[in-house]
Amino acid sequence: MGGIVVVGSIHMDFICYIRKLPLPGETLQSYKTEIKPGGKGANQAVAAALSGGKVTLVGAVGNDLYSRDIVSGIKNHQVNIDRILRKDNDTGMAFIAVDESGQNSIVLSEGANGCLTVEDLKGLPELFEPSSVLLVQNEIPWACTRFALQAAKQRGIVTYVNPTPALVIDEDVFPLIDVMILNESEADCLTKVPVRLDKDLINIQQAASQIIALGVKEVIITLGEKGSYYMNNQEEAIFTPAYSVHAVDTTAAGDTFIGSFIVARQQGLGVGDALQQASAASAIAVSRTGAQESIPSADEIADFLSEYNKQKPV
């Protein structure tokens, strides 16, 4: 199995647990506050590593006190940190409010993530092996993301894109993307189709078809507690219901899904089985608090699926 190269963001998360998300102008009291490592790039790298992947994270942290703890935590999860740069800036931060249902609201401060440059990525191609994959998001400068995708495609590397936060993507970039994994709101933004789960899946199918028509080979729209919808450019489609668990914090659920799915595919699992594994991983993650510390290991995912299959009616 080749390596997984993640080019993306690294944050320190400031998490406030509250009874309900605030209304505009409303001040609420947090009943618990935590400071934990996060960032979509780092979270997805950790998720892939814990699922059994060989992962290198390419990104940037600042010169503040947070950077040491963040990088040390990522390394402890068996992620290669040799390509994490230090910038003369603050480390990126995420301010997260989590309500009693596990839903969250996030405000980002890019910090050192915004200082990453194309010049910093000039050595990126040397990380690619023939069976490697590239994973990127939208929490670093767009020029860096675009460069990474172009470099990967020039080497014939499979590319995964998680377009969050949702941005307008240049049309010539879509053919560089092999697999796009995005949530409902991001699909809304890209396609202008109101993605909602109904019994006929019509809106979801329409949104996925539009993304495929732009040149993406495969698309997965994650639907939170409802599951996920997969479509490829051969018009094959799979709806995967989510596992029913008690959610306490949805932070990093999507990141966990993505990391686990990529590793499952690299290990040779079919799309359907990989979606089941990714769904199990995210189900475990939402039943725990925090970002990286909520992400399950490969053994935990296997145990979850084994227990579920035992209980499933024949």
Q: Is 12 annotated as a binding residue?
A: yes
Q: Is 122 annotated as a binding residue?
A: no
Bridge partners, 124 (sequence order): none
Q: Is 233 annotated as a binding residue?
A: no
What is the secondary structure of 259-298 as a DSSP string?
A: HHHHHHHHTT--HHHHHHHHHHHHHHHHTSSSSGGGPPPH
Sign of CA dihedral 108, 112, 114, 116: negative
Q: Is 254 annotated as a binding residue?
A: yes
CA dihedral 278, 281, 283, 287 (to 10 degrees): -160
Q: Is 139 annotated as a binding residue?
A: yes
Given 255, 273, 299, 303, which residue is catalytic?
255
200 annotated active-site = no
Bridge partners, 15 (sequence order): 34, 96
Comparing CA positions, the residue from 156, 196, 202 lying closest to residue 176 is 156
Q: Is 114 annotated as a binding residue?
A: no
Q: Is 198 annotated as a binding residue?
A: no
Bridge partners, 93 (sequence order): 12, 109
Q: Is 215 annotated as a binding residue?
A: no
Q: Looking up tokens 């892939």, which residue turns up?
A: 48
Contact criterion met (CB below 8 Å) for 1 and 53: yes
Q: Is 180 annotated as a binding residue?
A: no
Q: Is 183 annotated as a binding residue?
A: yes
Binding residues for K(+): 249, 251, 285, 288, 290, 294
Detail the residues annotated as belonging to a binding site for substrate.
Answer: 11-13, 39-43, 139, 255
Which residues are catalytic, by number?
Answer: 255
Which residues define the annotated binding site? 11-13, 39-43, 139, 183, 222-227, 249, 251, 254-255, 285, 288, 290, 294
